[in-house]
Structure 1
Amino acid sequence: MSEKNREAKRSARERLAEERERQKGRDKKRRALIVGAAVVGVLGLAAVVGLLAANSGDDKSDTAGPVSVPEGANGKDRLSLPLGKESAKSTLTIWEDFRCPACKQFEDGFRATINDLAAKGRLKVEYHLTTLIDGNMGGSGSLRAANAAACAQDAGKFPAYHDVLFKNQPPEPDDAYGKNSRLIELAEEVDGLVTDSFKKCVEDGEHDSWVAKSHKAFQDAKLRGTPAVLLNGKNIYGPQNPLTPQKLRQLVADADKG
């Protein structure tokens, strides 16, 4: 074989070897890309699963627990606590906060008249509880007292306990009703109210979600403040609309005639 032929054959072998090396390099890059894509895919899937799990957790945390409605609550969404006979022609709707000084003033001035009209079957009362002062002054006394009142409703003793809470209302800045022990202590003034079930209801905040829903209804109604007092749907109480016990009796009498 001539020198020229040997050189040509060697060049061909070298070119073939070089091509094989290049092909190995391409194969290596392709495998790296495949593996990388697979890793990215797995990580992407993990991220999606993580996001779904996180969203699921957020949904659970944003969802309020079940609303425990007090026994005998009635009205729209069962947010009112009743007093009086269902057959009464007139309905007095009262929105109150147990920490509200103006609510105490109203109760002290009208308690006897309202209770008398209700007892005689001439007036049906619907009490709605709010937590306005907690929001304005801080603390939790409005919520805690409202929950305790709802617990008293479970025991069939809401009207008496409602009156006790207003008669013993602390000064507005004093969050004494934020202590369940104080609420249970005052419940001793209502015969037969303090039982193990009542105390558990108070301590557990059994009706907290219901109270929150009631306050939301107060906000949605865009009422100016507490107390808000409506007779047959008409606002009858406020600085521009002075009300007296005698006038309330007359309004009920007029409604009876109508």
Structure 2
Amino acid sequence: MSENNQEGKRAARDRLIKQREQEKARERRRRTLIVSTAVVGVLALAAVIGVIAANSGGKGNKASKSGPAVAPSGATGKDSLAIQVGANDAPSTLTVWEDFRCPVCGQFENAFRDTIHELENTGQLKVLYHLVTLIDGNLGGSGSLDAANAAACAQDVGKFSAYHDVLYRNQPQETDDAFGKSSRLIELAGKVEGLDTPDFRSCVQDGTHNTWVQKSHTAFQNGGFQGTPTALLNGESIFPKKGNEPITVANLKKWVAEANKGKQPGKVTSSPSGS
């Protein structure tokens, strides 16, 4: 009788342990679904906000420098308005239109930065960045313009990608025009090895590439795009979704793999993600 009781207790205990494990597994799946849905939902909502911004945005309040547009070193594309990161012969191209003050752009970069760099570093993808000044036009200030100019100054010495990431990692609130201060942009340059030099400081303070940035913004307006960020994979919009599929890390990798099927990766000579 005693042995039967012990076996019964063990069986009950085993059932209880199994039940608890099943409950934990269900809870993990539930949390994963909630987080995944929240990320997609935030990005989708942000895209709507971006549409509003695109429809109302202007060029900002800061007067542009007189004279012709000075493109940063290595700028490419039509009218040299794009900054490329990644191998020239990468089989796929991601075109991104961004505003450094745009909170949705910050969410996009923070969500997909590591994946994009992975695809760049393995020669699967090159990225063409176009800089926009929507928030300056909507909220006033000059942070969009000044940050874009500073990023172009970083491109002059081959450090665009690293500085681009630093700016988004330290993005202020949308209503805070912190990037409108040269001192803040120079301070952040200190996070990129070898960037904070007298030439870089002069480029930032003088607004060397301001007219080029504003020309890029005009191209954005004339392009009929709906908001920032705009992300196009080989010319097809993928933000906030591609067809009926929402953009996620897994989907982005899948879309690039599908586009690159049967193609050789590009030759990467150095890490596009910088220091």
Deviations 1:151-200 (A, max 9, x none): 00001100000000000000000000000010000000000001000000
| 1:140-155 correspondence to structure 2 within 5 Å | 140-155=142-157
| SS, match of residue 147 in structure 1 | helix
Alignment CA distance shift 1:219-1:241 (3 Å)? farther
Q: Is the Cα–Cα contact under 8 Å of residues 146 and 182 in structure 2 kept in the other structure?
A: yes
Alignment CA distance shift 1:63-1:133 (3 Å)? closer
**2:195 aligns with one of 188, 193, 203:** 193
What is the TM-score of this pair, normalised by structure 1?
Answer: 0.74
Alignment CA distance shift 1:137-1:234 (3 Å)? same
**1:124 aligns with one of 123, 126, 132:** 126
Residue in structure 2 matched with residue 228 of structure 1 by the alignment: 230
Residue in structure 2 matched with residue 92 of structure 1 by the alignment: 94
Residue in structure 2 matched with residue 242 of structure 1 by the alignment: 246
CA distance in structure 2 between the partners assigned to 1:212 and 1:78 by the alignment: 13
> Sequence identity of aligned pairs in percent?
60
Alignment CA distance shift 1:106-1:68 (3 Å)? same
CA distance in structure 2 between the partners assigned to 1:216 and 1:105 by the alignment: 24
Displacement of 1:76 after TM fit? 1.0
> Which residue identity lines up with residue 143 of structure 2 in the other structure?
G
Displacement of 1:80 after TM fit? 0.6
| SS, match of residue 246 in structure 2 | coil
| SS, match of residue 66 in structure 1 | coil
Residue in structure 2 matched with residue 219 of structure 1 by the alignment: 221
Residue in structure 2 matched with residue 133 of structure 1 by the alignment: 135
Residue in structure 2 matched with residue 46 of structure 1 by the alignment: none
CA distance in structure 1 between the partners assigned to 2:196 and 2:170 by the alignment: 17
| SS, match of residue 65 in structure 1 | coil
Q: Which has the higher contact order (CA 8 A, sep 6+)?
A: 2
Q: Does 1:257 align with 2:261?
A: yes
Q: Is the Cα–Cα contact under 8 Å of residues 99 and 133 in structure 2 kept in the other structure?
A: yes
**2:184 aligns with one of 160, 182, 185:** 182
| 1:40-59 correspondence to structure 2 within 5 Å | none
Displacement of 1:66 after TM fit? 1.2
* Runs (5+) with no aligned partner, structure 1: 1-61
| SS, match of residue 94 in structure 2 | strand
Displacement of 1:64 after TM fit? 4.9
CA distance in structure 2 between the partners assigned to 1:64 and 1:236 by the alignment: 37
Structure label with greater radius of gyration: 1
CA distance in structure 1 between the partners assigned to 2:69 and 2:225 by the alignment: 23
CA distance in structure 2 between the partners assigned to 1:177 and 1:247 by the alignment: 33
How many residue pairs match? The answer is 197
Displacement of 1:257 after TM fit? 1.3
What is the TM-score of this pair, normalised by structure 2?
Answer: 0.70
Residue in structure 2 matched with residue 13 of structure 1 by the alignment: none
Alignment CA distance shift 1:178-1:63 (3 Å)? closer
> Which residue identity lines up with residue 260 of structure 2 in the other structure?
D
Residue in structure 1 matched with residue 80 of structure 2 by the alignment: 78
